[in-house]
Amino acid sequence: MNVLVYIEVRDGEVKKASLESLSEGHRIASASGGAVCAVIPGANLDAAVAAAKGHGAAKVFTNDSADLANYVPEGYLASVVEAASQCNAEVVLLGATSQGRDLAPRVAAKMGVMFLPDVTKISTDDGLVATRPVYAGKVNISLKAKELPVVISTRPNTFDLAANEGAGELVAISPEFNAKAKVVEVVASGGEKLDVAEADRIVAGGRGLKEPENFKVLEDLADSLGAAVGASRAVVDAGWRPHSEQVGQTGKTVGPTLYFAVGISGAVQHVAGMRTSKVIVAINKDADAPIFKLADYGIVGDAMEVVPALTAALK
Ligand SMILES: Cc1cc2nc3c(=O)[nH]c(=O)nc-3n(C[C@H](O)[C@H](O)[C@H](O)COP(=O)(O)OP(=O)(O)OC[C@H]3O[C@@H](n4cnc5c(N)ncnc54)[C@H](O)[C@@H]3O)c2cc1C
């Protein structure tokens, strides 16, 4: 099976989610006797090309143009579709980042093929089978592709990174496209803050923090762990935290290595966004809070006592 992987670059840096897709693409292609290609639209792509090669890409299709320095859906779409054709791709993988969520269905529609979003596992033992959580994460569904190609978006932080040196043969492409809009300015909302959707560690807080000022203790814990701060919807709706930090059904889906749920009850809509976290630590003063059913480690206690003590211990 030939696999094409879309490599997302932001400010010259490759998104980790793309390298996870590429590692998985390399595994699928190797297991089924195919090759893995990468496609990188954008500008100043040297670092991205090196990363793609270092994660197993046999061929790297680049569309290097100043016009593509920012995400241009039509231009990026044309690049992926052109590379899929030249690579004879039977599987096209994209990380389910915010950009990937925009681009992947466009690619599937343009190619006229099936789209499997937010996949957490892929098997090629018996045809191509992709597994993804449905019903707010209560059930995993496995779908077998009846025909190829398919377009799949992979959930960030669920596939392992693997260093595999590929041949990295460079192929420049520049398909025509007709952009309907142009990015004139990009304003970052969170300054230097880590984005919860991509963070490897998250310290999330809920209504149990009692007041917005108390999030300072979570920020201190997050700093000592190199983690991002997340939030439940209750505190976002209350205006304590920005929506960009909200985890859950109507917020972001996260899958970090470590997730702290502090003063968060564990409502199904919150859990939907974080249940695939690898290690979950719950801190809640109510021993019967539903979050403890999901947690790997639980501390029953007052967040304002437990969290500063943890931070002090970590420091
Ligand atoms: C359509 C829909 C979509 C939704 N989407 C989302 C979503 O995306 N994300 C989301 O989070 N929610 C979402 N919700 C809301 C969700 O149902 C819950 O209302 C919300 O998650 C509750 O937030 P919470 O856990 O912070 O607050 P609460 O449920 O009020 O829980 C607070 C917790 O803090 C504990 N606590 C209290 N004091 C302390 C203390 N001193 N120390 C430690 N613990 C303490 C309590 O025991 C309790 O368990 C959605 C709801 C709907 C209907």
Domains of the chain by start residue, with CATH: 3-172 (3.40.50.620), 201-314 (3.40.50.1220)
Atom nearest to 303 CA in ligand 1: 42
Q: In angstroms, what is the span from residue 130 Cα to ligand 1's centroid? A: 31
User: Among residues of the chain, what percentage have pLDDT more than 90?
Assistant: 88
Binding-site residues, ligand 1, Cβ < 6 A: 206-208, 232-235, 246-251, 263-265, 267, 269-270, 273, 283-286, 289, 302-303
pLDDT tens column, 62-83: 999 999 999 999 999 999 999 9
CA dist 224 and 22 (Å) reads 31
Q: In angstroms, what is the span from residue 191 Cα to ligand 1's centroid? A: 27
Atom nearest to 205 CA in ligand 1: 26
pLDDT at 175: 97
First to last CA, the chain: 48
pLDDT at 190: 57
pLDDT > 90? residue 102: yes
> Whole-model pTM above 0.75?
yes
pLDDT tens column, 281-298: 999 999 999 999 999 999
Q: In angstroms, what is the span from residue 81 Cα to ligand 1's centroid? A: 42
pLDDT > 70? residue 128: yes
Atom nearest to 251 CA in ligand 1: 8
Confidence of residue 193 (pLDDT cuts 50, 70, 90): confident
Q: In angstroms, what is the span from residue 262 Cα to ligand 1's centroid? A: 10
Q: Which amino acid is at 160?
A: D
Q: Which amino acid is at 20?
A: E
User: Closest residue (by CA) to atom 36 of ligand 1?
Assistant: 208
Atom nearest to 291 CA in ligand 1: 49
Q: Provide the 3-class DSSP secondary structure of residue 120.
A: coil
Contacts of 157 (CB under 8 A, 6+ apart): 16, 17, 20, 198, 200, 254, 255, 256, 257, 276
Q: What are the two backbone dihedrals, phi and then psi, of residue 54, each rounded to the nearest 5 degrees?
A: -70, -10
Contact 272, 136 (CB under 8 A): yes
pLDDT > 70? residue 192: no
Q: In angstroms, what is the span from residue 264 Cα to ligand 1's centroid? A: 5
Atom nearest to 235 CA in ligand 1: 26
Contacts of 198 (CB under 8 A, 6+ apart): 15, 16, 17, 97, 156, 157
pLDDT > 70? residue 305: yes
pLDDT at 189: 65
User: Closest residue (by CA) to atom 23 of ligand 1?
Assistant: 234
Residue 31 parent element (H or E):
helix 16-31
User: Closest residue (by CA) to atom 8 of ligand 1?
Assistant: 248
Contact 26, 58 (CB under 8 A): no
Closest to 89 measured CA to CA, from 29, 147, 149, 142: 149
Average pLDDT on 22-42 reads 97
CA dist 288 and 281 (Å) reads 15
pLDDT > 80? residue 136: no
Q: In angstroms, what is the span from residue 134 Cα to ligand 1's centroid? A: 21
CA dist 45 and 122 (Å) reads 29
What count of residues does the chain have? 315
| 28/137: higher pLDDT | 28
- Burial class of residue 13 (count of CB atoms within 10 Å of its CB; 0-12, 13-18, 19+): exposed
3-state percent helix, strand, coil for the chain, nearest multiple of 5:
30, 30, 40
List, in sequence order, every residue forming a beta bridge with 116; answer none if it has no partner: 152
Confidence of residue 170 (pLDDT cuts 50, 70, 90): very high
Atom nearest to 207 CA in ligand 1: 26
CA dist 8 and 156 (Å) reads 12
CA dist 207 and 285 (Å) reads 12
pLDDT tens column, 199-247: 999 999 999 999 999 999 999 999 999 999 999 999 999 999 999 999 9
User: Closest residue (by CA) to atom 26 of ligand 1?
Assistant: 206
What are the C-alpha distances in Å from 119 to residues 10, 34, 122, 224, 290? 23, 21, 7, 32, 26
pLDDT at 259: 98
